[in-house]
Amino acid sequence: MPSWYLAKELAPRGITVNVVAPGAIETDFLGGAVRDNPALNRAVAENTALGRTGVPEDIGPMIAALLSDANRWVTAQRIEVSGGMYL
């Protein structure tokens, strides 16, 4: 919801505000638990529509897309990039 307030405040200046919410990604977050714990990695993969955990390269393209002029009309959105976790 904070993105709504910022989006409204910054819209007159042509600035869009969105939130990218990554799912379980194989990074150092939480001490690398998703990346380094095979049991957790397997559990996440089993609860994801795409059948795997995410990697950092899965998130960057979404951010790049939001920054492109093709998405200039997208603002105040929370975009989940989770591979369909818990569908």
Residue 31, in any domain of the structure: yes
Q: For 55, phi and psi rounded to 5 degrees?
A: -125, 160
* Residue 77 covered by a domain: yes
| 86 falls within a domain | no
The total domain count for the chain is 1
pLDDT tens track for 9-31: 999 999 999 999 999 999 999 88
pTM for this model (two decimals) = 0.83
Cα–Cα distance measured from residue 85 to residue 22, given in angstroms and rounded to the nearest whole number: 10
Nearest residue to 3 (alpha-carbon basis) of 19, 26, 14, 22: 19
What CATH number did the domain enclosing 18 receive?
3.40.50.720
Residue 87 resides in a domain: no
For residue 48, tell me if it sits in a domain: yes
Alpha helices in 2-80 (DSSP H): 2-10, 29-36, 38-46, 56-67
Q: With 90 as the cut, is the pLDDT of residue 86 above it?
A: no
Calculate what percentage of the chain has a pLDDT beyond 90. Answer: 89
Ramachandran category for residue 25: left, alpha or beta (phi over 0 → left; psi -120 to 50 → alpha)? beta
Q: Which domain holds residue 69?
A: 2-81
17 in a structural domain: yes
Average pLDDT of the chain is: 94
